[in-house]
Amino acid sequence: MTALLSEVFSADGPLAAGVPGYRPRSQQLAMAEHIAAAIADNRVLVAEAGTGTGKTYAYLVPAMLSGGKVIVSTGTRNLQDQLFARDIPTIRKALKSPIKVALLKGRANYLCHHHLERSLADGRFLSRDDAAYAQRIARFVKKTRTGDKADCADVPETAGVWAMVTSTRDNCLGQECPQHKECFVLAARRDALAADLVVVNHHLFFADVMLRDEGTAELLPACNTVIFDEAHQLPEVASLFFGDSLSTAQLLELAHDAHLEGVAAARDCLDLPIACDALEKAARELRLTLPVEAARYALQQLEARPGFVTGLAAAVGALEALAVVLETQAQRGEGLENCWRRGGELLARLQSWRDGTNTDFVRWGETYSHSLQLNATPLVIAEIMQKQMGGHPRAWIFTSATLAVQEDFAHYCAEMGLVDACSARWESPFDYPRQALLYAPQNLPDPNSRDYAEAVVAAAFPLLQASGGRAFFLCTSLRAMRRTHELLTEQLAQAGIELPLLLQGERSKNELLERFRRLGNAILIGSQSFWEGVDVRGKALSLVIIDKLPFAPPDDPVLSARIERLKSAGRNAFMEYQLPRAVINVKQGAGRLIRDETDRGVLMICDPRLTGKPYGKRIWRSLPPMKRTRELAEAVAFFSAAPAG
């Protein structure tokens, strides 16, 4: 395989002949060889590859040449679509590979014939727009082969109507569905089972494949290799899926569906609409025990809220009562039987959350504008991960640009339970000392001080002028993001400078990025969404400003419970857990700056802890080897200096 890979990645190989702009990189070949060896020996490999290594090709080529079944899991649906629509077809064509490839998404991404038909017949849409969108979807469903809602371009992804025309695990009728044979979800799964290479995303992998949650239990046993791209996201995703969560929205949806099924098949059962209304009332009142603003609450905070405990008891009681009525009507139709089964499952999960018998899980709540989600999250995922990875021998590849802390993978491997993993890392092929400058300004106040945002904007403004915009301003909170936007708007107006300001949330992420690239002199102010998975090459992005080191807020319920657990075991939670996570996040943010051999730019990290605290050294030593300065004049001059060499 080594000789074959050397040929494939060589200057006169098939990739060079078939991929425009392809250039051989020693790091890419070395990474591909490590992955091929791990696949051949069914090993676990943790691989960090700096920006520009070309890690996608480095894992796809050996995966395609391995001869076995491969699952590739990515961080987002966007990356999933990019792999399936662009990267894999390009490599397959260059290698003249006959392998079958399938794209598999979560069921909420596929239209459901049954729910579309029922919604059109019911006609109770929340707005005129939704009614119009439903008609467009009805036309789309007649011509689509996949039923993937991403292909329905004339209905916005955020439209409320999608919830009415797709299914959930709760409300899918399964084999009882009258349109079972035409089901898009089942068709996608059949394609995945028949394929040699299946592209999924992390959420689907853990929900569907690891937890056997939605009927794809056949997919993992048949597979020889699992490759996780953007693997730094896995601890968070795995925690979410190895735990449990249910929301008041699910209770409302059950009440709504049971009411509709009752009208269709059990109109004479007068107790059913009464029980549905009671559950709906209880669910809404439970949500109203907490403030309107989106927030996270520890269990103690929830229990201290007036009315929460009694509201939870009322919801349990109303759900019990509805389940009893549904049991008496379940034989009258598939829909009613499905509602009865859902009611029983939701009741068991709600009671389990209320009773909290498993001390290895932390219970907490999260509010959204119209719902309350109750979560039970495991404090440690290592053992659960080991159990899930056991059994049938296969290769497990974990790769990202950001997994190590100062070349050390111990934190990541310990958290993920990767005991016998091999690890390797490759530096970026970019010439960072020539292409980039790290600027840490002097005399900024403590990040917790009231006027910190004002000081950051004042310090950043000379650089924004020097760069002529062309900047990402990355904030660690939505509040700081909005305040930064206000302050910059004022500063630009006072200085009489016209630069476009783009704010996360004003439009979709893709629309904002497209506009940012097109304008060429914009300042994009964003929070978590823009720290990773964003690729802007060329002069449009020449300055990345990070307002604070991205430590997770210590009052986060899951984080505080994990810190407490580590402390009680006599361990240093900050150095072992909080700092490594912050380092990986900083590396992600910094990675937005240099995306190409010709890019140049300044990374400005405003937080004085980077230079003023002993642990700051661990952070900046984990960053690419850029030139470093604390002098504003040097940072400003970088933009006018001609590129060296």
Of 268-282, 284-298, 503-517, least confident by mean pLDDT is: 503-517
Q: How confident is the model at residue 175 (pLDDT cuts 50, 70, 90)?
A: confident
> For 418-433, what is each residue's pLDDT tens digit?
988 999 999 999 999 9
Decide: 374 and 569 in contact? Cβ < 8 Å.
no
Task: Please state the rounded mean pLDDT for residues 69-95.
Answer: 92
Q: What pLDDT, on the 0 to 100 scale, is given for residue 48?
A: 96
Instruction: Indicate if the pLDDT at residue 393 is higher than 70.
Output: yes
Between CA 213 and CA 21 the distance in angstroms is 42
3-class SS letters over 195-227: CCEEEEEHHHHHHHHHCCCCCCCCCCCCCCEEE
What single-letter DSSP state applies at residue 604? E
Hey, do 2-105+186-241+380-426 and 432-640 end up sharing a CATH topology, with the first three levels equal? yes
Between CA 575 and CA 593 the distance in angstroms is 27
CATH fold, domain 2-105+186-241+380-426, is Rossmann fold (3.40.50)
Between CA 220 and CA 337 the distance in angstroms is 30
For domain 432-640, give its CATH number from 1.10.10.60, 3.40.50.2000, 1.10.287.70, 3.40.50.300: 3.40.50.300
Grouping H, G, I as helix, E, B as strand and the rest as coil, residue 101 is strand
Q: How confident is the model at residue 92 (pLDDT cuts 50, 70, 90)?
A: very high
Q: What pLDDT, on the 0 to 100 scale, is given for residue 211?
A: 67
Between CA 25 and CA 510 the distance in angstroms is 30
Percent of the chain with pLDDT over 70: 98
Between CA 462 and CA 445 the distance in angstroms is 18
Q: What pLDDT, on the 0 to 100 scale, is given for residue 218?
A: 67
Q: How confident is the model at residue 104 (pLDDT cuts 50, 70, 90)?
A: very high
Which residues neighbour 92 within 8 Å (Cβ) at sequence distance 6 or greater? 64, 99, 101
Between CA 311 and CA 202 the distance in angstroms is 34
Between CA 478 and CA 332 the distance in angstroms is 50
pTM: 0.90
Q: What pLDDT, on the 0 to 100 scale, is given for residue 644?
A: 45
Query: Where along the chain do its domains lie?
Result: 2-105+186-241+380-426, 111-165, 250-373, 432-640
Mean pLDDT estimate for the chain: 92
Whole-number Cα distances in Å, 140 to 171, 317, 375, 561: 22, 42, 37, 47
Q: What pLDDT, on the 0 to 100 scale, is given for residue 232?
A: 95
Q: What pLDDT, on the 0 to 100 scale, is given for residue 642?
A: 57
Between CA 516 and CA 145 the distance in angstroms is 34
Decide: 137 and 164 in contact? Cβ < 8 Å.
no
Between CA 136 and CA 138 the distance in angstroms is 5
> For 574-627, what is each residue's pLDDT tens digit?
999 999 999 999 999 999 999 999 999 999 999 999 999 999 999 999 999 999
Q: Which amino acid is at 565?
A: R
> For 295-350, what is each residue's pLDDT tens digit?
999 999 999 999 999 999 999 999 999 999 999 999 998 889 999 999 999 999 99
Q: What pLDDT, on the 0 to 100 scale, is given for residue 645?
A: 40
